[in-house]
Amino acid sequence: MPHKRLFIPGPTEVRPENLAALGRPQIGHRSEEFRALYGRVVPKLKSVLETKERVFLFTCSSSGVWEAAIRNCVRERVLCCTQGAFSERWLHVARANGKQADALRVDWGKAITAERVDRALSQGGYDAITVVHNETSTGVMNHLDEIAAVVARHPDVTFLVDAVSSLAGVRVPVDAYGIDVCLAGVQKAFALPAGLSVASVSARALDKARGVENRGYYFDFVEMLKYDERKETPATPAIAQIQALDAQLDDILAEGLDRRYLRHDALAQIVRTWARRHFRVFAEEGYESPTLTCVTNTRGISVADLNRELGRQWAQISNGYGDLKEKTFRIAHMGDTQEWEIRGLLATIDRILGL
Ligand SMILES: *Cc1c(COP(=O)(O)O)cnc(C)c1O
């Protein structure tokens, strides 16, 4: 079967150079070579995250780091902001780990506003909050700067942020926003194969973790810190993935973060303009995601048929999430995607649908 170019919101298309980087020889994870690799990757990640705090590498997908953030940084009660499938799942993870978790819930397609967060946190009793920056099931991106300003007024609350489908496609200045844990997997806007995740962890979060019971074993931040000091990870990490990340971070920084973010904005504009001409954009106005567009299926097309035909030709988009399966479809424009690819995709869709 010929390769279908991926325009789905994860995993995203990986360039051949980065696939080749996965094939480099293995190195021992307690070796000088590994410490050198770790010592190259982590500072580059810190510049992407705009942080001077620690950055840890996790051998798992983002869901694992959801669990890590909850296990290490929630003492008792956490407020989970939910607005779609992924943010709902982080709430579920909090409860599955035995924490008291309340939902601050808005309708799918809507954004979490700073006012709502302020009101909920002002009731008191929460020692942490979870926010998904960019809700991948609905294509809504919250105004994280405004939410951050409100969370900063509640100094006892640990600020946990999922930037899985925004980081490396949208600016997330971790320290300026006072984020305690900012997590992302590399198979979205980093445009690498799935299986590795990264997170910044603030000194404040590490202090708190020391006093939290049942942090577990695999994701214990206190243990990860010890190994970070010597540029290693507690267990054998996904070495090939880290080698590919090393290569891709060089390319990301060579492109320039600002240019990378502008490219994402430009691609989003093209897809949104197309979507508004033929359909509708699902996200509330002013909160449309720069990394993916969720399109409301106002024409009642068969999303499954469209995707099957696209697949026969060369590309793959995503149907809607869960209940939105046929009611919406999603086009990702994140990672290393270029304008010619997006224009080619939209032209192919136009031809298939006779638009
Ligand atoms: C993809 C995604 C996740 C979960 O990622 P997994 O890699 O499946 O663990 C979490 N949050 C958001 C916003 C996502 O887009």
Check which CATH number belongs to the domain holding 337 and give it: 3.90.1150.10
Last residue of a domain, one of 238, 253, 268: 253
- Ligand 1 pocket test target in 108, 165, 186 with most atoms within 8 Å of CB: 165
- How far apart CA 252 and CA 94 sit, in angstroms, is 33
Q: Are residues 62 and 76 in the same domain?
A: yes
Mean pLDDT by 10 residues, the chain (355 residues): 94 97 97 98 98 98 98 98 98 98 98 98 96 98 98 98 98 98 98 98 98 97 98 98 98 98 98 98 98 98 97 97 94 98 98 97
Q: Are residues 245 and 338 in the same domain?
A: no
Ligand 1 atom index nearest CA of 9: 15
Q: Are residues 211 and 171 in the same domain?
A: yes
- Ligand 1 pocket test target in 59, 62, 80, 162 with most atoms within 8 Å of CB: 62
- Residue 112 pLDDT: 98
5 backbone dihedrals φ, ψ, rounded to 5° = -65, 130
97 Cβ below 6 A of ligand 1 = no
* Residue whose CA lies nearest to ligand 1 atom number 2: 164
Amino acid making up residue 86: F
Residue 170 is given by DSSP the state B
Cα of 140 vs centre of ligand 1, distance in Å, is 14
243 Cβ below 6 A of ligand 1 = no
Instruction: Report the SS3 class of residue 80.
Output: strand
Amino acid making up residue 202: S
Q: Is 13 within 8 Å of 337 (Cβ atoms)?
A: yes
Overall pTM surpassing 0.95 (yes/no): yes
| Paired sense of beta strands 280-281 and 197-201, if any | unpaired
Write the CA distances from 310 to 135, 138, 270, 296, 350, integer angstroms. 25, 22, 19, 18, 11
The two tokens of residue 163 are: 């930037």
Q: Are residues 125 and 210 in the same domain?
A: yes
Q: Are residues 238 and 263 in the same domain?
A: no
Q: Are residues 117 and 93 in the same domain?
A: yes
Q: Are residues 236 and 262 in the same domain?
A: no
Cα of 62 vs centre of ligand 1, distance in Å, is 5
H or E element at residue 151: helix 144-151
Q: Are residues 262 and 235 in the same domain?
A: no
- Residue 124 pLDDT: 83
Structural domains in the chain (count): 2
136 Cβ below 6 A of ligand 1 = yes
Write the CA distances from 201 to 74, 175, 208, 209, 294, integer angstroms. 13, 10, 11, 10, 31
Last residue of a domain, one of 192, 222, 253: 253
CATH code, domain with 193: 3.40.640.10
Q: Are residues 232 and 84 in the same domain?
A: yes
- How far apart CA 203 and CA 181 sit, in angstroms, is 10
Domain hosting residue 324, numbered range: 5-12+256-353
Cα of 354 vs centre of ligand 1, distance in Å, is 34
Q: Are residues 158 and 49 in the same domain?
A: yes
Sequence-separated (6 or more) residues with CB below 8 Å from residue 294: 109, 137, 138, 139, 140, 281, 282, 283, 320, 324, 328, 329, 330
Cα of 306 vs centre of ligand 1, distance in Å, is 25
Cα of 292 vs centre of ligand 1, distance in Å, is 13
Q: Is 9 within 8 Å of 140 (Cβ atoms)?
A: no
Q: Are residues 38 and 74 in the same domain?
A: yes
Q: Are residues 266 and 331 in the same domain?
A: yes
164 Cβ below 6 A of ligand 1 = yes
61 Cβ below 6 A of ligand 1 = yes
Last residue of a domain, one of 199, 234, 253: 253
* Residue whose CA lies nearest to ligand 1 atom number 5: 62
- How far apart CA 37 and CA 21 sit, in angstroms, is 13
Cα of 164 vs centre of ligand 1, distance in Å, is 6
